[in-house]
Amino acid sequence: MAECTVCFRHCEIPEGGLGFCGARTCENGKVIAANYGRVTSLALDPVEKKPLYRFHPGSLVLSIGSYGCNLRCPFCQNHEISWSAEAMRMAERCEYIPPERIAATAGYYRERGNIGAAFTYNEPLCGYEYVRDCAKLIHELGMKNILVTNGMAELHVLDELSPYIDAMNIDLKGFTDRYYEDVLKGNRQMVMTFIKEAMKRCHVELTTLIVPGENDTDEEMEQLSAWIASLENGSETVLHISRFFPRFHMTDRNATPVSTVYHLVEIAKKHLKYVFPGNC
């Protein structure tokens, strides 16, 4: 048995077992990333897809995904590799790719406009050791690293990664503890602390998915955007306000009205310089 210290749960993982995220295990009394090097997804994406709008716009980035997640968003668009039953079987099916090969692949595509690597699709912080090892090699090539994350991790994880990360898109999924705890099974305060510290270390853009009946009120967007603006250089931070579509375990409501997204964009613009609608 060993304690995992990546996120607020601090799972006590038995020998050979898995933590809540499905990606960390205990081996010889030590917690390690069971998903280390286990790649489920590999693609050359526009950097705007991360989404990052003010970090090397027009560029491509090699996007890498593994499996596992420490949230339980019922609307997850990547549930096949995050926390579904199928995701938990990924360890048996996905390919092992060593960090050296990831770096070589990123370098190979440099001539096509690739600026580096983005760790994305599932929650990369569940296997942060692989992110660290790949990102270090990619930096040695003079290329960039991007982290697309829910931000639900202790600061020691950020400390290990931040020397090698040039940009992040972090989900700030809502601005109430009820939503984070009851719907997402997460911890809002941990995410806010992570965002505050990350913004001191690299380029950060934030994303809020607007789910009807959950986080779509004017008051919540007012509070969320005001908090971002209160941070160091916060008013210059990009906020992406995205439209929800019913999927996975949340099919009991319609897609977010486009008018709602644009309305909330205008509210956020009272505090922030750069606010963009998404999925509209």
Domain ranges for the chain: 2-278
Residue 150: predicted pLDDT: 98
Residue 276: predicted pLDDT: 98
Distances (CA, A) of 277 to 51, 85, 195, 210, 268: 11, 32, 20, 10, 11
Residue 188: predicted pLDDT: 98
In this prediction the pTM is 0.97
Phi first, then psi, for residue 229 (nearest 5°) are -65, -25
| Tokens, residue 244 | 């929800």
Q: Are strands 274-278 and 238-243 parallel, antiparallel or unpaired?
A: parallel
Report which DSSP code applies to 79: T
**Spans of the chain, pLDDT less than 70:** 87
Q: Mention the CATH class of domain 2-278.
A: alpha beta
Residue 91: predicted pLDDT: 73
Phi first, then psi, for residue 147 (nearest 5°) are -120, 125
The per-residue b/e assignment along 56-95, b for 16 or more CB within 10 angstroms, e otherwise, is beebbbbbbbbbbbbbebebbebbbbbbbeebeebbeebe
| Tokens, residue 83 | 């926390």
Residue 93: predicted pLDDT: 81
